[in-house]
Structure 1
Amino acid sequence: MRVLGIESSCDETGVAIYDTEAGLLGQALYSQVEMHAKYGGVVPELASRDHVQRVLPLVRQVLEEAETRPEQLDGVAYTAGPGLAGALLVGAGVARSLAFGWGIPAVEVHHMEGHLLAPLLEERAPQFPFVALLVSGGHTLLLDARSLGDYSILGESVDDAAGEAFDKAAKMMGLGYPGGPRIAALAEQGTPGRFRFPRPMTDRPGLDMSFSGLKTFTLNTIHDLGGKEALSEQDRADIALAFEEASVDTLIIKCRRAMEQTGYKQLVMAGGVSANRSLRARLGEQMKKRGVELFYPAPQYCTDNGAMIAFAGALRMQAGESAELPIKVRPRWPLTELAAL
């Protein structure tokens, strides 16, 4: 089965073609980061307009790269949610129009399920059941993934997602947008032990998380040093290191508890923050000590991309799913509402 996937949930336009026998045949991605950076975050209307300009040229590019004609496709998959309503509508409208014109079915894909399944694109892939840590700018979840579509939430952030906290902390330090990669790079120059930030909600049982307190602690630390304008480059590096260490420690502690609670021996980590090198290295060490295998996608599949949508769509089409009229998108869509296949 050969499926065209379209991702347009936020500020990246991703298109890919996945074949269930031959694997990933072609992909292309356009990021709007530079456009939104001047505003310090994503502007929904600008994001939607840019998707309109980018998606069809990317589809043509990927069809050519994959040496695929429309009549060779078996379906079109698209992100139906969660995400920005306008951006989702662009991808959904284009995907459904192409599917109708080509006389093939379309299938809705949940954005976070796409992330969850992205590690299965790797040669070394996990097998159900496993625990999944989905950690991005919009979501931070620990899931019990029993089979395709059969997910239950073990724990989640009660306020900001981890990636969102990284972005806001970076903005406080004047590092620009997106903040996660900038904090990670700066943390490598930090002085260990100069600052120690709290590890929220780790002093009590349970798997829920909180990251908003780290933002407040960051703001107070900056204030104590005389404000953003008074920060030296070393001050910024030391704050970045303390912030990253606290965030990573919090995620590791919660993952350890999730593995103990479920008894599983496989942990999947996905989403934009899963590209953080410190998180990968330290979580890998902790899981190895406990006899747990850690899986995560290649860096290009951590952020939003069309490959994960094409892959997830192909799996759902194989199971007999297809989208019905009218075209709908779901800006808010709990992962637990998906049908188990």
Structure 2
Amino acid sequence: MASGLILGIESSCDETAAAVVERGSLTRSSIVASQIGTHAPYGGVVPELASREHLRNIVPITRAALEQAGCELKDIEAVAVTSGPGLAGALLVGLTYAKTLAFSLGVPLISVNHLEGHIHAVLLAENRDQGSGTREQGIASGLPMPALALVVSGGHTHLFLARPPEGIAAGQAGWRYELIGRTLDDAAGEAYDKVAKLLGLGYPGGPWIDNLAQYGNAKAVPFTFAQIKPKAHLEGKAPRTKGATIAPIGGLNRHFLFSFSGIKTAVLRYVEVHGMRAACEERMKTLSAMPHAAWQDALPWCDKQTLDLIASFQHAVVGDLMKKTFAAAEAVGAASVLVTGGVAANRELRVRFTAEAAERGLPIAFPTLALSTDNAAMIAAAAWPRFVAGEFADWDLEANPRMVLA
């Protein structure tokens, strides 16, 4: 009898991860090696260092995942790997290892888009909690479809309308995704990291800001988001950059586009105008090496003005994400909402999104906290429908740092 076990490999950014998932719904193991300590002194991910750490971690992490799952390589029916988007060098490490492993075992190789993986992290959590009656397709039985998925992390802020497979007999065995909105510049998580660094907090910035925000007045600083205007001078013209070619905005509703560079600049101006620069620099000397789990120790180093600024920043970002997500859900007729990615671990975001969804009578789901950040279980789960349909990658599969989801 087939085991239904898929080994997932994830190395798109700064986490080396391996997992074994059974039939797209039962997580047998999930191991993640974080690189926070490596990149914290720089306040962000250094691509060259990330690739080096992946090389060191990929073999022992995979062995640990197999051991935790209680299986051996001979029990694996396919190897799934993130082939994009992400950092080119980081992707290459995981992809090369996965290709070699699959070839040596004589099992299929399955290519997975990192963004699709994040969406399936929610479905994986739902299947675990409710018990999936449709495991062969990997559909979460408790969520009505189609779903509007907000993928929000340090590298991505996208809105997708996700539709489940209709079945091989119907000629459509994989999930379908339609891009509804995206960020024009910084991702939300990137803005969190940069603002945290500016205020002298540690890396990654999201947990620091989320934990400290509860001690400030969220209405102290009235941050606003400017309305994104149509680019009339670009209409009818060919895209001018590679990024615009692979993720065009011309066909998207401008009301569902995000921009977080402005609020990042607004925080910087506030710090300068109110003479907070010296205090931020002093705080950085003390807190930069402190793990975010010790955020309570940072309270004495944050005056009321700083805490109010932190709370106001988070309130504004979460509000903008919420406003546009639910407006898009209504516009496209989504039957449910999925919120996933690293920023989906944010407490205020979960509370406010859940309350808004309840008021609208719209089902909403989040991944577990462990599955919110990058992991390989979501990659193996997303690969299951492709395995069932026989959609396997060729051996000349290449890393695609700018891969789009469709």
What TM-score results when the alignment is normalised by the length of structure 2?
0.80
Output aligned runs, 1:167-246, within 5 Å: 167-201=193-227, 206-230=255-279, 232-246=302-316
Q: Is the aligned partner of 1:257 residue 2:283? A: no
Secondary structure in structure 1 of the residue aligned to 2:158 = strand
Partner-residue secondary structure (3-state), 2:162: strand
Q: Which amino acid aligns with 2:319?
A: D
Paired residue for 1:54?
A: 57
Give % identity.
Answer: 43
- What is the CA–CA distance in structure 2 between the aligned matches of 1:317 and 1:37, rounded to whole Å? 38
Q: CA deviation at 1:92?
A: 0.5
What secondary structure is seen at the aligned counterpart in 2 of 1:193? coil
Aligned to 1:28: 31
Q: Is the 8 A contact 2:145 2:334 kept in 1?
A: no
From 155, 180, 183, the equivalent of 1:154 is 180
Q: Structure 2: how far apart are the matches of 1:174 and 1:3? A: 42
Quote how far apart the aligned CAs of 1:172 are: 0.9
Match among 263, 271, 294 for residue 364 of structure 2: 294
Paired residue type of 1:145: A
- Of 333, 338, 347, 1:268 maps to 338
Q: Is the Cα–Cα contact under 8 Å of residues 248 and 279 in structure 1 kept in the other structure? A: yes
Instruction: Provide Cα deviations, 1:258-289, integer angstroms capped at 9, x if missing partner.
Output: 12102222000100001111011101111111
- The residue aligned with 2:154 is 137
Match of 2:42, SS state, is coil
Q: Is the 8 A contact 2:339 2:366 kept in 1?
A: yes
Q: Which of 273, 279, 285 is residue 349 of structure 2 equivalent to?
A: 279
Q: 1:28 to 1:184 in 2, by over 3 A?
A: same
Aligned residue for 1:339?
none
- How many Å separate the matches in 2 of 1:105 and 1:282? 42
Larger radius of gyration: 2
For 1:250 and 1:199, locate their aligned partners in 2 and report how far apart those are by CA, in whole Å: 7
8 Å Cα contact 1:129-1:144 kept in structure 2: yes
- Cα gap change, 1:127 to 1:52, in 2 (>3 Å): farther
In structure 2, the CA distance between the partners of 1:245 and 1:21, relative to structure 1 (3 Å rule), is closer
The answer to whether 1:69 aligns with 2:139 is no
Distance 1:201 1:6 in 2: 40
**Corresponding position: 1:303 with 2:303:** no
Q: Is the 8 A contact 1:200 1:211 kept in 2?
A: no
Which amino acid is 1:131 matched to?
Answer: L
Letter in 1 for 2:154: G
Residues in 2 aligned to 1:196 and 1:228: alpha-carbon distance in whole angstroms: 20
Cα distance in 1 for residues equivalent to 2:25 and 2:401: 33
Residue aligning to 2:250: none
More deviation, 172-181/198-207: 198-207
Number of residue pairs the alignment of both structures matches = 336
Q: Which residue of 2 aligns with 1:331?
A: 401
State the one-letter code of the partner of 1:70.
Answer: L
Per-residue CA deviations over 1:74-125 (Å, capped at 9, x if unaligned) read 0000110000111101001111111111111111110000001111112244
The 3-state SS of whatever aligns with 1:27 is strand
**How far apart are 1:200 and its partner, in Å?**
3.8
Q: Which deviates more from structure 2 when the two are superposed, residues 22-31 or residues 3-12? A: 22-31
Consecutive unaligned residues in structure 1, runs of 5 or more = 337-341
CA distance in 1, matches of 2:376, 2:279: 42
Q: Match of 1:263, as an amino acid?
A: G
Alpha-carbon offset, residue 202 of structure 1:
7.9
Unaligned stretches of 5+ residues in structure 2 = 131-139, 165-173, 231-253, 281-301
SS at match of 2:19: strand
Q: Does 1:104 align with 2:107?
A: yes
TM-score using structure 1 length: 0.95
Q: Which amino acid aligns with 1:186?
A: L
Greater alpha carbon shift after TM alignment, 26-35 vs 117-126: 117-126
Q: Which amino acid aligns with 1:68?
A: C
Distance 1:237 1:23 in 2: 41
Please tell me the root mean square deviation across aligned C-alpha atoms, in Å: 1.7
The answer on whether the counterparts of 1:2 and 1:314 sit within 8 Å (CA) in structure 2 is no
Task: Tell me, in whole angstroms, the C-alpha distance in 2 between the residues paired with 1:21 and 1:279.
Answer: 27
After alignment, is 266-275 or 234-243 more displaced? 234-243
C-alpha distance in structure 2 between counterparts of 1:46 and 1:154, whole Å: 34
When structure 1 is superposed on structure 2, of 55-64 and 231-240 the one drifting more is 231-240
* Structure 1 residue matching 2:255: 3-state secondary structure: coil
What SS class does the counterpart of residue 32 from structure 2 fall into? strand
Which letter maps to 1:238? D
Q: Distance in 2 between matches of 1:127 and 1:90?
A: 37
